[in-house]
Chains A and B, each alone.
Chain A
Amino acid sequence: DGGITQSPKYLFRKEGQNVTLSCEQNLNHDAMYWYRQDPGQGLRLIYYSQIVNDFQKGDIAEGYSVSREKKESFPLTVTSAQKNPTAFYLCASSIRTGGTGYTFGSGTRLTVV
Protein backbone atom coordinates (compact mmCIF):
# COMPACT_ATOMS: atom_id res chain seq x y z
CA ASP A 1 0.00 0.00 0.00
CA GLY A 2 1.19 3.51 -0.76
CA GLY A 3 1.75 5.96 2.02
CA ILE A 4 4.13 8.09 4.04
CA THR A 5 6.44 6.60 6.64
CA GLN A 6 7.91 8.73 9.39
CA SER A 7 10.54 7.46 11.76
CA PRO A 8 11.15 7.25 14.59
CA LYS A 9 7.75 7.56 16.26
CA TYR A 10 9.33 8.94 19.44
CA LEU A 11 12.66 10.73 19.67
CA PHE A 12 14.52 12.16 22.63
CA ARG A 13 17.20 14.77 22.19
CA LYS A 14 19.67 16.28 24.57
CA GLU A 15 20.15 20.00 24.64
CA GLY A 16 22.65 21.11 21.99
CA GLN A 17 22.24 18.07 19.74
CA ASN A 18 21.07 17.99 16.15
CA VAL A 19 18.56 15.28 15.25
CA THR A 20 17.18 14.16 11.91
CA LEU A 21 13.59 13.03 11.36
CA SER A 22 12.96 10.69 8.47
CA CYS A 23 10.09 10.97 5.98
CA GLU A 24 9.68 8.57 3.05
CA GLN A 25 6.76 8.33 0.62
CA ASN A 26 5.93 5.81 -2.11
CA LEU A 27 2.97 7.72 -3.54
CA ASN A 28 5.01 9.21 -6.40
CA HIS A 29 4.06 12.67 -5.12
CA ASP A 30 6.10 15.65 -6.26
CA ALA A 31 5.47 17.92 -3.28
CA MET A 32 6.41 17.25 0.35
CA TYR A 33 5.94 19.27 3.53
CA TRP A 34 7.02 19.44 7.15
CA TYR A 35 4.69 20.78 9.84
CA ARG A 36 5.10 21.31 13.55
CA GLN A 37 2.20 20.90 15.95
CA ASP A 38 2.30 22.00 19.58
CA PRO A 39 -0.23 20.70 22.15
CA GLY A 40 -3.72 22.02 21.43
CA GLN A 41 -2.47 24.03 18.48
CA GLY A 42 -2.84 23.96 14.73
CA LEU A 43 -0.17 22.99 12.21
CA ARG A 44 2.60 25.39 11.31
CA LEU A 45 4.60 25.00 8.11
CA ILE A 46 8.37 24.56 8.54
CA TYR A 47 9.61 23.75 5.03
CA TYR A 48 8.17 22.48 1.78
CA SER A 49 9.54 21.07 -1.45
CA GLN A 50 7.79 21.22 -4.80
CA ILE A 51 10.33 19.09 -6.64
CA VAL A 52 13.60 17.23 -6.14
CA ASN A 53 16.59 19.43 -5.25
CA ASP A 54 14.33 22.37 -4.43
CA PHE A 55 12.79 23.47 -1.15
CA GLN A 56 11.33 26.63 0.36
CA LYS A 57 11.08 28.03 3.87
CA GLY A 58 7.71 28.02 5.54
CA ASP A 59 6.51 30.19 8.40
CA ILE A 60 8.81 28.84 11.11
CA ALA A 61 12.00 27.64 9.34
CA GLU A 62 14.51 29.06 11.83
CA GLY A 63 16.48 26.30 13.56
CA TYR A 64 15.50 23.67 10.98
CA SER A 65 17.07 22.37 7.76
CA VAL A 66 15.92 19.97 5.04
CA SER A 67 17.15 18.24 1.91
CA ARG A 68 15.36 16.74 -1.08
CA GLU A 69 17.87 14.60 -2.94
CA LYS A 70 15.32 11.96 -3.91
CA LYS A 71 11.66 12.27 -4.81
CA GLU A 72 10.72 9.75 -2.13
CA SER A 73 12.61 11.31 0.78
CA PHE A 74 12.41 14.63 2.65
CA PRO A 75 14.36 14.45 5.94
CA LEU A 76 14.12 17.24 8.51
CA THR A 77 17.03 18.17 10.77
CA VAL A 78 16.23 19.94 14.01
CA THR A 79 19.37 21.85 14.88
CA SER A 80 20.65 23.10 18.22
CA ALA A 81 19.62 26.59 17.08
CA GLN A 82 15.96 25.64 17.51
CA LYS A 83 15.24 26.94 21.02
CA ASN A 84 12.05 25.06 21.72
CA PRO A 85 12.07 21.87 19.65
CA THR A 86 9.75 19.73 21.77
CA ALA A 87 6.72 19.16 19.52
CA PHE A 88 4.87 16.73 17.26
CA TYR A 89 6.34 16.79 13.73
CA LEU A 90 4.23 15.82 10.75
CA CYS A 91 5.38 15.12 7.22
CA ALA A 92 2.92 15.36 4.35
CA SER A 93 2.88 15.01 0.58
CA SER A 94 0.66 15.94 -2.33
CA ILE A 95 0.68 14.94 -5.97
CA ARG A 96 1.76 18.48 -6.82
CA THR A 97 2.02 21.78 -4.99
CA GLY A 98 -1.33 22.55 -3.45
CA GLY A 99 -3.61 20.09 -5.17
CA THR A 100 -6.78 19.27 -3.31
CA GLY A 101 -5.25 17.96 -0.10
CA TYR A 102 -2.36 16.33 1.66
CA THR A 103 -1.53 12.81 2.80
CA PHE A 104 0.12 12.85 6.21
CA GLY A 105 2.55 10.49 7.89
CA SER A 106 1.91 9.24 11.41
CA GLY A 107 4.26 11.80 12.96
CA THR A 108 7.35 11.93 15.16
CA ARG A 109 7.09 13.16 18.72
CA LEU A 110 10.34 14.91 19.67
CA THR A 111 11.19 15.63 23.29
CA VAL A 112 14.21 17.52 24.56
CA VAL A 113 15.60 16.03 27.77
Chain B
Amino acid sequence: GQSLEQPSEVTAVEGAIVQINCTYQTSGFYGLSWYQQHDGGAPTFLSYNALDGLEETGRFSSFLSRSDSYGYLLLQELQMKDSASYFCAPRDNYGQNFVFGPGTRLSVLP
Protein backbone atom coordinates (compact mmCIF):
# COMPACT_ATOMS: atom_id res chain seq x y z
CA GLY B 1 0.00 0.00 0.00
CA GLN B 2 0.85 3.67 0.02
CA SER B 3 1.23 5.97 2.99
CA LEU B 4 2.63 9.44 3.52
CA GLU B 5 3.25 11.32 6.73
CA GLN B 6 3.99 15.00 7.18
CA PRO B 7 3.38 17.26 10.17
CA SER B 8 0.06 19.02 9.73
CA GLU B 9 1.27 22.43 10.93
CA VAL B 10 4.56 24.19 11.62
CA THR B 11 5.06 27.70 12.98
CA ALA B 12 8.27 29.75 12.90
CA VAL B 13 9.39 33.38 12.99
CA GLU B 14 10.88 35.49 10.22
CA GLY B 15 14.56 34.82 9.67
CA ALA B 16 14.44 31.38 11.28
CA ILE B 17 15.12 27.96 9.77
CA VAL B 18 12.42 25.31 9.57
CA GLN B 19 12.52 21.66 8.52
CA ILE B 20 9.44 19.84 7.20
CA ASN B 21 9.75 16.07 7.37
CA CYS B 22 8.16 13.48 5.11
CA THR B 23 8.08 9.72 5.49
CA TYR B 24 6.59 7.63 2.74
CA GLN B 25 5.71 4.14 1.70
CA THR B 26 4.98 3.53 -1.98
CA SER B 27 4.83 0.67 -4.45
CA GLY B 28 8.36 1.14 -5.71
CA PHE B 29 10.08 4.49 -5.66
CA TYR B 30 11.68 6.76 -8.20
CA GLY B 31 12.13 10.04 -6.39
CA LEU B 32 10.62 12.68 -4.12
CA SER B 33 9.22 16.07 -5.11
CA TRP B 34 8.21 19.06 -3.02
CA TYR B 35 5.56 21.65 -3.86
CA GLN B 36 4.47 24.94 -2.33
CA GLN B 37 0.84 26.08 -2.39
CA HIS B 38 -0.43 29.43 -1.19
CA ASP B 39 -4.06 29.67 -0.09
CA GLY B 40 -6.37 29.57 -3.11
CA GLY B 41 -3.47 29.08 -5.50
CA ALA B 42 -1.96 26.30 -7.51
CA PRO B 43 0.90 24.13 -6.27
CA THR B 44 4.28 25.19 -7.60
CA PHE B 45 7.20 22.82 -8.00
CA LEU B 46 10.12 23.36 -5.62
CA SER B 47 12.49 20.43 -5.93
CA TYR B 48 13.02 16.81 -6.91
CA ASN B 49 15.42 14.31 -5.32
CA ALA B 50 16.16 11.05 -7.09
CA LEU B 51 19.37 10.25 -5.21
CA ASP B 52 20.29 10.32 -1.54
CA GLY B 53 21.62 13.57 -0.25
CA LEU B 54 20.93 17.26 -0.10
CA GLU B 55 19.88 19.45 -3.03
CA GLU B 56 20.12 23.20 -2.51
CA THR B 57 18.18 25.83 -4.42
CA GLY B 58 18.58 29.25 -2.92
CA ARG B 59 16.94 29.45 0.50
CA PHE B 60 15.32 26.05 0.04
CA SER B 61 17.05 22.67 0.32
CA SER B 62 15.63 19.18 0.03
CA PHE B 63 17.06 15.97 1.43
CA LEU B 64 16.38 12.33 0.63
CA SER B 65 17.32 9.06 2.30
CA ARG B 66 16.01 6.20 0.17
CA SER B 67 17.00 3.53 2.69
CA ASP B 68 14.94 5.28 5.39
CA SER B 69 12.03 6.24 3.05
CA TYR B 70 12.46 9.73 4.43
CA GLY B 71 12.97 13.20 3.14
CA TYR B 72 12.78 16.77 4.35
CA LEU B 73 12.44 20.29 3.04
CA LEU B 74 14.63 22.90 4.72
CA LEU B 75 13.65 26.54 4.49
CA GLN B 76 16.22 29.11 5.60
CA GLU B 77 15.95 32.83 6.29
CA LEU B 78 12.19 32.53 6.50
CA GLN B 79 10.11 35.32 5.01
CA MET B 80 6.44 36.13 5.50
CA LYS B 81 5.77 35.11 1.90
CA ASP B 82 6.88 31.56 2.78
CA SER B 83 3.61 31.10 4.70
CA ALA B 84 1.92 28.38 2.63
CA SER B 85 1.22 24.67 2.52
CA TYR B 86 4.07 22.37 1.54
CA PHE B 87 3.47 18.95 -0.01
CA CYS B 88 5.88 16.09 -0.39
CA ALA B 89 5.14 13.83 -3.34
CA PRO B 90 6.97 10.56 -3.95
CA ARG B 91 6.88 9.12 -7.45
CA ASP B 92 5.64 5.56 -7.27
CA ASN B 93 6.41 2.60 -9.47
CA TYR B 94 2.88 1.56 -10.36
CA GLY B 95 1.61 4.38 -12.56
CA GLN B 96 4.82 6.33 -12.35
CA ASN B 97 2.76 9.18 -10.95
CA PHE B 98 3.45 11.39 -7.99
CA VAL B 99 1.45 10.69 -4.84
CA PHE B 100 0.74 13.80 -2.80
CA GLY B 101 0.89 13.87 0.96
CA PRO B 102 -1.61 15.68 3.20
CA GLY B 103 0.56 18.79 3.29
CA THR B 104 2.16 20.85 6.03
CA ARG B 105 0.82 24.31 6.72
CA LEU B 106 3.69 26.67 7.53
CA SER B 107 2.92 29.92 9.31
CA VAL B 108 5.69 32.49 9.48
CA LEU B 109 5.24 35.05 12.25
CA PRO B 110 6.82 38.52 12.36
Q: Please list the residues of chain A having a beta carbon within 8 angstroms of any beta carbon in chain B.
A: 33, 35, 41-45, 48, 56, 58, 90, 97-98, 100-107
Contacts and interface: CB of A to CB of B under 8 A. Distances in A.
Interface centre among B31, B95, B97 (most CB of A within 10 A): B97
B101 A104 contact: no
Interface residues of B, number: 23
B91 A98 contact: yes
A42 B90 CA distance: 13
Contacts of A45: 97, 99
Contacts, number: 53
A4 to B, nearest CB: 9
Nearest to A44: B100
Interface string B84-104: 000100010001111111110
Contacts of B96: 97-98
Interface string B27-71: 000110101000001111100101000000000000000000000
Given A43-B87, A56-B95, A101 B101 contact: no
